[in-house]
A and B are shown apart, each in its own frame.
Chain A
Amino acid sequence: MSLLLILIIPILTAGAVLLCKTDEQVKWTALAGSLAQLGVSVALYFLFVRERAITGQESLILFEERYPLLSDAGIFLHVGADGITVGMILLTSFVLAAGVLASWNIVYRVKEFFLLLLLLALGAFGFFISQNLFLLFFFLELSVIPKFLLISIWGSGKKEYSANKLALMLMGGSALILTGILLLYFNGGRTFEIHSLSRVVFSDRLQQVVFALLFVGFGVFTALFPFHTWVPDGHSSAPTAGSMFLAGISMKLGGFGCLKIAMYLLPEGALYFSHIIIVLSVIGILYGALATMMQKDLKYINAYSSVSHVAFSLLGMGMLTQTAITGAVMQMISHGVMTALFFAVIGMVYERTHTRMIQEMSGLMKTMPFIATVFFISGLCSLGLPGFSGFVSEMTVLTGSWEKDSVFHRTVTIAAAASLVVTAVYILRATTKIMMGPPQLPGENAVTDANTKERSAAILLTAGIVWIGLFPAWLTALIKPDVQQIMKRIAGL
């Protein structure tokens, strides 16, 4: 199987969507495409596991394909996948399929909407499989524009402000990344190939500078404190599927970049900045959680909570231990599925109640039991209940962090663990307020529970978090060798 299939399916689907005549056709085409993509991703996982078993662990990047685009300039269409990539692709396809299902009620400019959704997914898929920094950057940018448009056209609330803010901040991040990439290009023998760059011995000084550029640049995407402020506004203004993609996938582009580009290529930089990363992510964890406690809008709640959760994966990276980094990757995947589910269900609530303010809702368990149950499940996943993915990944990060036995590391680990209480507070505050109590919706009898499409989206994502939560071993096995590779480079210093 050619890895390019991962790119071809979204492109073909987008083409088919363009040809569609009615809105209904558009939706079914997009759904068919995203399901095909999901199938291919699952197949990819099994093929990957088999292939890895055959080849042993020597060659970590499998399914490599390389075609020259501008070979003189070091630009290749070079794709390949390692375990982390496969995990990310699985995540993206899950969220894509669920996002299409959750957008079924879109009525305004349906064709454009689904086109942009597919484009966004294409950007993410391309980003994950790129083995060439130029290509990677291209796909990263490709995923920014649809976000801007999704928010400014289909958004709600102060959407222009949010869209501009998001675009500007992400562009700022991109500028830093581009600078970093170009510095690597010119100092690393004029190549964009990740593989070649990984063999270049950069000076310590350069590593530190470029690492800072890349980590902050990608950090903006993944809501590294204090570059997180696009998250709350962006998420809350975006349409449901937009929020799902933004939090579920886009933020993971940043995390993936931090780990697989910045830390992998520049281990010395990672070591040098480790303490700063840790401090910033612990601030992000606690501060995001505390800020969430005060929010009244469901989307703001999940947005700030995402800042807190994603900071867990940054904490894992900063800790630079095998376990913590494994946990960081698991947290990215887990949070991606979980937050997509959360935004999907918030969207469902909003469509029925026409409000996202928690104090205006009550007793949803009575009026829409299915939606309320799913809301509760995603809340439980968020607060790290065993049996759901959040528990597995956060515990792995924290246990990995505990391996560092200096007072500094221990203190920050305890501080991060303390956030588990705050998480419980804000999740239960929102959940008990809107689900429990006497029902008091205006015209509550007219309210209906989730329809089949919405149910499918919710079940798809719930299956994801439960699967990881109950059987985490396959995921750790998948990403372990790649994390070992990164650790080897850091330990080799």
Chain B
Amino acid sequence: MIYTVLVLLIVLFPLAGFLFPALWGRSLFKKSAGPLTVVLMTFSFLLSAYFAYLYFFEFGYQQGAYRRFLFPDIPWLEFSGALAIRMGAYIDAVSVMMLLTVTFVSLMVHVYSLWYMKHQERYAAYFAYLSLFTFSMLGLVLSSNIFQMYFFWELVGVSSFLLIGFYYQKPAAAAAAKKAFIVTRFADVGFFIGILILSFSAGSMDFETILHKLTTPGSDALNTAAAQTFLGISALSWGAALVFMGAAGKSALFPLHIWLPDAMEGPTPVSALIHAATMVVAGVFLIARLFPLYAITVPGVQEFIAWVSAVTALMAALIACVQTDIKRILAFSTMSQIGLMMLSLGVAKYEAGPVPGYTASLFHLFTHALFKSLLFLCAGIMIHFVHNNSIWKMGGLRKYLPLTHLFFLAGCLAISGIPPFSGFFSKEEILLAAYRNYFPLYVLVLITSAVTAFYMFRMYFRTFWFYNLKGPTEKETEIEVPALIPLVLLAIGAVLGGFIPFGNFVTSDGHRMPFHFDVRFSLLPVILNLAGIFVAMWFYKTKNKRSDIVQEKAWKLYLLLSEKFYVDHLYEFITRKVIFQVIGRSAAWFDKNIVDGMVNLSGEATQYVSAAFRKLQSGKVQLYALYFLLAILALALITILK
């Protein structure tokens, strides 16, 4: 009972943080919306921390494994039979870890925004949206029912829309918000059909039942579902693949990634929270939730996931090498890192004990949330300082922003996988999982990782070194306290997060996984990553023309990368030229000319006839009404009394 109340409160505090400023943001909370939501988020975070403590150290670990618990399970909308949307909380190690991550990063971003959004128009609305997002995300990670997850999944999407489009007067922001929503909506239709296929096969929409029924070999549900095929592929594979389509949309995997770079039009703290740490990993979370299904029942789809993720990871890393907008570089790096997390789930083979690839994926999700939000928040300070997003407009910032410099460096080292920073440990496990199960993908991950080190340090050296930017004449405070606290806490996480024995807590089956570390295995990736860093240093540490020369020599490659492999152009062509112009326009034309034409034709014929009865028209509406009623009555009476 106490646990139920705890979970409920964790979710309700952010909801209150949305409702109060949303309803009274123009009056009562015009100025105080920020502090109010920060206080509410603090409660939510503290309760999450307490709950996580209780779960991991008090009640969660029973008979040698972390157990699953289902807290209030309320039927919300019943369809038929056992199919129903139920609202509940599915408590296991993964969701508790996610609770902690989401509330922590969200709190950090709330606090940071006190400084960043100070004196902004629609101050209250901003915090309301931020809290709405947090509420939806918490609902998502707690979902015990796949349709419940879809419910919050869509809410997360709309809060993302609101936040990307927060600077609504900027046409680019409006367009980006629209694009993000529509692309993910497209993916969500796939997700929805996938939900229908899976839940009808399992006879339930609860994760528990779906996983149980569809992963037990020889069960009736499985046999029936396997017998149904479409285009030579079993219904279950279709369902699983379509669910993955939804995940790919939210997690910005190729080819549904096009919305994420544009989403950087939103305020920078928003990017830190939504487009780095939490929402974009929802897809990874979803696939992790259904992991046994993919690994046991539809290994073909799982392999497909691995390849899609690998392509995404490498492609995004390459694109990031030529971007100039600091936030877009971080966005592509997010894409690439999510690709790695998903890849880890894709290559993990199901085995009797805990699955290492599964833990690796969630470990990386966790560390990535810390160091990526740190990087974004630093970027916010840098952008604030130079009033520009372009790294070409920055340079030598280490003099003016010494603290930011340290934090940013810590983040860069973490993401580049340099020991002992957090990213090293989590990436290490992903590499290990790929190495054990699928060698070609191991090579791809290695390359991606080295490229990551290169572009991260390209950004680092280009902004903090390179040449000396002419600084402002008067001394500005570098970081105000509200921004400093989150940076310090996140930096601690980014540096030390890797030492958390993650395998002790979050595993695929709840059993603890022994920690392993092999220097011989780590040597190669670390050397490659360091090489990436040194190349970046050679190009960008001091002011020189080396990069321009390379760019001129290999301009074709450069163009291909800076145009992002022309994926956006392809979409542009399909949506604008094909869907809008051809299909939409012809539907509208058909309606106006063909269907309506018939009606007008019959109308004209009627008018021709009615001209004969023109004399009856006196122009008084009351008389028309009277005629009309009389006519009906007469008609009825004639037929009846006949």
A interface list, Cβ under 8 A from B? 70, 73, 75, 112, 134, 138, 141, 145, 149, 153, 164-165, 168-169, 178, 182, 226, 228-230, 232, 287, 290-291, 293-295, 304, 321-323, 363, 365-366, 369, 380, 383, 385-387, 391-392, 395-396, 398-400, 402-403, 405, 413-414, 417-418, 420-421, 424-425, 428-429, 432, 435-439, 472-473, 476
Contacts and interface: CB of A to CB of B under 8 A. Distances in A.
A306 to B, nearest CB: 14
Given A229-B595, A417-B189, A429-B178, A164 B76 contact: no
B169 A425 contact: no
Contacts of B161: 428
Nearest to B185: A424
Contacts of A476: 77-78
Contacts of B26: 369
Contact of B628 (A145, A293, A405): A145
B168 A435 contact: yes
Contact of B177 (A178, A400, A432): A432
Nearest to A119: B625
Interface hub of A228, A295, A304, A402 (most chain B Cβ within 10 A): A402
Closest 9 CB pairs of A and B: A436-B174, A294-B588, A290-B587, A436-B168, A386-B151, A424-B185, A293-B584, A73-B640, A432-B174
A228 to B, nearest CB: 8
Contacts of A290: 583-584, 587-588
B596 interface: yes
B208 interface: no
A233 to B, nearest CB: 8
B79 A168 contact: no
Interface residues of B, number: 62
B537 interface: no
B591 A391 contact: no
A229 B596 contact: yes
A229 B76 CA distance: 38
Contact of A421 (B185, B583, B625): B185
Interface in B567-620: 580, 583-585, 587-588, 590-591, 595-596, 598-600, 602-603, 606
26 contacts: A141-B628, A141-B632, A145-B625, A164-B603, A287-B587, A287-B591, A290-B587, A290-B588, A293-B588, A294-B588, A295-B588, A365-B168, A380-B158, A385-B155, A385-B158, A398-B196, A403-B200, A417-B189, A417-B193, A421-B182, A425-B182, A436-B171, A437-B174, A438-B171, A472-B76, A473-B75
Interface hub of A75, A229, A405, A438 (most chain B Cβ within 10 A): A229
A432 B632 contact: no
Secondary structure call for the A interface: helix
Contacts of B580: 293-294
Contact of A396 (B77, B640, B641): B77
A304 B178 CA distance: 21
Nearest to B242: A414
A383 B585 CA distance: 21
B636 interface: yes
B584 A294 contact: yes
A418 B76 contact: no
Nearest to A425: B182
Nearest to B589: A294
A421 B189 contact: yes
Contacts of A287: 587, 590-591
A437 B171 contact: yes
Contact of B193 (A229, A294, A414, A472): A414
Contact of A386 (B152, B603, B625): B152
Contacts of B185: 383, 420-421, 424
Contacts of A424: 181-182, 185
A473 B151 CA distance: 16
Nearest to B188: A420
B528 interface: no
B80 interface: yes
Given A291-B584, A395-B77, A403-B80, 20 more contacts: A141-B632, A145-B628, A182-B639, A229-B591, A229-B595, A229-B596, A232-B591, A290-B584, A293-B584, A294-B587, A366-B169, A383-B185, A386-B154, A391-B154, A399-B79, A424-B182, A428-B178, A435-B168, A439-B169, A473-B77
A365 B185 CA distance: 24
Given A165-B603, A428-B182, A396 B79 contact: yes
